[in-house]
Amino acid sequence: MQQICPSTKWVEIHLDAIEHNYLQVRQRLDDKTRLLGVVKADAYGHGALEVARVLEKMGVDMLGVTTVEEGCQLRENQISIPILVFAPFLPDEVEKIISYDLTVTVAAKEQIEWLKQALLSNSPDINSPDIKVHLKVETGMGRTGFMPAEITEAAREVLAVPGLILEGVYSHFATAMWKNKRYAKLQLKLFQETLQKLEQAGINELVKHISNSAAILDLPEAQLDMVRTGTLLYGQVPSPRHEGMLELMDPWLFKARIIHLRELPAGYGVGYGRTYKTTRKTMVAILPIGFMDGFQMEPVLKPAGFWELLKGGIKQFLYYINHPLVTPSVLLPGGGARIIGKVGMQLTMINVTGIKGAEIGTEVRIPVRRTAVSLAVPRLYLQDSKLMGIRRSENT
C-alpha cells in the first residue's frame, strides 16, 4: 500500500464486502420484498456515491438519504435509480426535487401545499413532471410523520393533486429491538392499523415499509413490501446480540503507520497533562492520528436509564485508573497495543512494549467511529483487494 498512498493514514473501503453484505441481506428477504439501501451520511462514512454505484449495480430497488442535498449529489453523479429523501424538505427545495426526480417523504400538510404550488407554477409546455410521494406515519418515534388518525385525509389530499403520485407509506422504529421488542411490536401493530385505514378508504397498492436493520434480523413479520437497511450493508450489527446472525464482512479499515518510536524509563509521564505514567521501561510508538481525524470522538448522549448512567460511571472510573478493559487499543500485525496518554489533535501514543514487528512504518489498524472520520483522510476504494480509486477531499 505504501507505494500508492503517500499518506501516513488512510481509510480502505472494500467494495466487494458491501456486495457480499447486500447479498446476505437479500437472502433473508422474501423474493418479492424490495430493498432500499440507505446511503445517508455519506453512506455512514463509506462514500455515498461509491456505495450507491455498487448498490445500483447489485440491483437495489431504491436508495435512501436524509436530505434533498444528498439526493442531488447522487443525481449529479449519474445515479439514476429511485432515491427516497427521508427528512422533511423545505419549500425552496421543491424545484430541485422535480428536476432531479427525487422521491419525497411527506410528513405534514403544508408540504403537500408546497408541492402543489410548484406543480401549478411549472409552465404547461414542460412535460408535466410527476413527484413521487411516500407518506410518513408517526407510530412512536416522536420525530416526523402524520398521526395515524390523520393519514387517510393526507393521502386523499396527495391524490387530489395532479402530478403527485402516492407511491408509498412508511414508519420508523424507535428502539433497538433486542432491548424492547415489545415496543417495536406495538409500533408495527399501530402501523398495520394505519394501513388498514388506508385500505378501507380504497387507497391500495402503496409500497409499505417500516423495517430497518434491527427489524430485518428480529421481526421478519415486519418486512412488508420493502425494508430499509444501512447498518447491515456496512458490515455492522445494530447490537452485540445480533452478532453472527448474518455472515457480514467489514468493508472498512482505518490504517495509520507508525511514524516514530522511543523508549521511556519507568515512572515517566506521557502526553498532555501527563495523565499516564509508565510503570516500567516502555517502548512508545507515535501514530499520526488524533481527534482531528475523528479518533476517540464519541457523541455524548444522555444515558437511557439509571443502569446506563451507572455503567458509564464505572467505565469512566476504570478508564481513570488505566484499566486495560476500557483503554482503547489499536491493532498491529503482532497484536493489540493500548493507547497511553491523552489523544492529541493529530498525534497519539501507543504502548508497543514486547510487540513483535512494531517498527517505523508499520501499518496499524485503528478503531474509529466511521461517520466521524475527517474527509481530509484519503479514502482508498478496493475491489477484491485491487485499488479502484482514491478519493481525497478537494481542499487538502
Ligand X SMILES: *Cc1c(COP(=O)(O)O)cnc(C)c1O
Residues contacting residue 386 through CB under 8 Å, at least 6 positions apart = none
Smallest distance from ligand X to CB 81, Å: 17
Smallest distance from ligand X to CB 98, Å: 22
Pair 322, 351: CB distance under 8 Å: no
Is residue 40 flagged as an active site residue? Answer: yes
Q: Which residue number, 187 or 213, has a Cβ lying nearer to ligand X? A: 213
Q: Which residue number, 40 or 116, has a Cβ lying nearer to ligand X? A: 40
Smallest distance from ligand X to CB 380, Å: 24
Q: Which residue number, 238 or 341, has a Cβ lying nearer to ligand X? A: 238
Edge-to-edge order in the sheet of strand 363-365: 260-264, 282-287, 348-351, 335-340, 329-332, 363-365, 252-257, 9-14, 379-383, 386-391
Smallest distance from ligand X to CB 185, Å: 17
Q: CA-CA distance, 329 to 351, in Å (whole number)? A: 9
Q: Which of residues 147-176 bind ligand X (CB under 6 A)?
A: 172
Q: Which residue number, 79 or 85, has a Cβ lying nearer to ligand X? A: 85
**Of these residues, 179, 189, 272, 319, which one is catalytic?**
272
Q: Which of residues 16-45 bind ligand X (CB under 6 A)?
A: 38, 40
Q: Which residue number, 86 or 146, has a Cβ lying nearer to ligand X? A: 86
Q: CA-CA distance, 106 to 144, in Å (whole number)? A: 9
CB atoms within 10 A of CB 120: 11
Q: CA-CA distance, 56 to 79, in Å (whole number)? A: 8
Q: Which stretch binds ligand X (CB under 6 A): 4-12, 209-217, 327-335, 380-388?
A: 209-217
Is residue 197 flagged as an active site residue? Answer: no
**Element (H or E) spanning 340, and its range?**
strand 335-340
3-state SS of 266-308 is CCCEECHHHCEECCCCEEEEEECCCHHHCCCCCCCCCCCCHHH
Smallest distance from ligand X to CB 310, Å: 27
Smallest distance from ligand X to CB 233, Å: 8
Q: Which of residues 221-240 bind ligand X (CB under 6 A)?
A: 228-231, 238
Q: Which of residues 352-391 bind ligand X (CB under 6 A)?
A: none
Q: Which stretch binds ligand X (CB under 6 A): 144-152, 211-219, 242-250, 279-287?
A: 211-219
Which of 33, 152, 187, 212 binds ligand X (CB under 6 A)? It is: 212
- For residue 198, the Cα-to-chain-centroid distance in whole angstroms is 32
Q: Which of residues 74-93 bind ligand X (CB under 6 A)?
A: 86
Q: CA-CA distance, 149 to 137, in Å (whole number)? A: 10
Q: Which residue number, 10 or 86, has a Cβ lying nearer to ligand X? A: 86
Q: Which of residues 258-317 bind ligand X (CB under 6 A)?
A: none
Residues contacting residue 365 through CB under 8 Å, at least 6 positions apart = 253, 254, 255, 330, 331, 332
Q: Which residue number, 73 or 144, has a Cβ lying nearer to ligand X? A: 144
**Of these residues, 9, 22, 40, 276, which one is catalytic?**
40
Q: CA-CA distance, 306 to 308, in Å (whole number)? A: 5
- The CA distances from residue 280 to 265, 284, 288, 320, 351, in Å, are 6, 12, 24, 19, 11
Smallest distance from ligand X to CB 181, Å: 15
| Under rule CB under 6 A, residue 139 binds ligand X | no
Q: CA-CA distance, 76 to 83, in Å (whole number)? A: 13
* Positions in the binding site for ligand X (CB under 6 A): 38, 40, 86, 172, 212-214, 228-231, 238
Q: Which residues are catalytic?
A: 40, 272
